[in-house]
């Protein structure tokens, strides 16, 4: 009988340890980073093929988004570029960017996904700019 109780208590302690280990906050369980992860996922599946998985860009395919003053500048311009796409000569950090077109995303991504991915590119790879909300996307044409 006593042996059973001891076993029961031991099992309880082990379970308790597991529960405590699971409850210790890990970075992926914080809400702020969870939102960021949404943007990271949208980026990985829609943008990284052209812009690179670290936003480094690719010659003749897509300009870098990392350390790009346009990306960290006026959020409305960035929202417009992602919603409507981009085509034609641009300058990236003052230097002419060769060629290529970016498809419009308003048909294939919803406003929440566009807000998340823009927030992600504005705050990754050394970029430090304000988050973009779904509301801001909805009010940009």
- Residues from 108 through 137 that contact ligand HEC (CB under 6 A): 117, 121
- 3-state SS assignment for residue 99: coil
Q: Is residue 49 close enough to count as binding ligand HEC by CB under 6 A? A: yes
Residues 6+ apart with CB under 8 A from 71: 65, 78, 121, 122, 127, 129
By beta-carbon proximity to ligand HEC, the closer residue of 17 and 101 is 101
Among 41, 66, 81, 112, binds ligand HEC (CB under 6 A): 81
By beta-carbon proximity to ligand HEC, the closer residue of 16 and 73 is 73
CA–CA separation, 91 and 28 (whole Å): 36
Among 36, 40, 51, 83, binds ligand HEC (CB under 6 A): 51
CA–CA separation, 97 and 104 (whole Å): 19
By beta-carbon proximity to ligand HEC, the closer residue of 14 and 61 is 61
- Residues from 52 through 71 that contact ligand HEC (CB under 6 A): 62-63, 65, 68, 70-71
Strands 86-87 and 101-102, sheet pairing: antiparallel
């Amino acid at each position: 009988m006593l042996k059973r109780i001891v076993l029961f208590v031991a099992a309880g302690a082990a379970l308790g340890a597991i529960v405590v280990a699971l409850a210790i906050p890990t970075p992926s369980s914080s809400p702020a980073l969870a939102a960021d992860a949404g943007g990271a996922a949208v980026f990985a599946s829609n943008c990284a093929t052209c812009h690179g998985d670290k936003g480094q860009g690719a010659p003749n395919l897509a300009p870098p988004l990392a350390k790009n003053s346009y990306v960290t500048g006026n959020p409305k311009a960035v929202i417009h570029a992602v919603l409507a796409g981009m085509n034609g000569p641009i300058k990236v950090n003052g230097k002419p960017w060769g060629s290529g077109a970016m498809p419009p995303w308003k048909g294939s991504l919803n406003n929440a996904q566009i807000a998340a991915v823009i927030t992600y590119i504005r705050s990754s790879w050394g970029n430090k700019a304000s988050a973009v909300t779904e509301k801001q996307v909805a009010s940009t044409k």
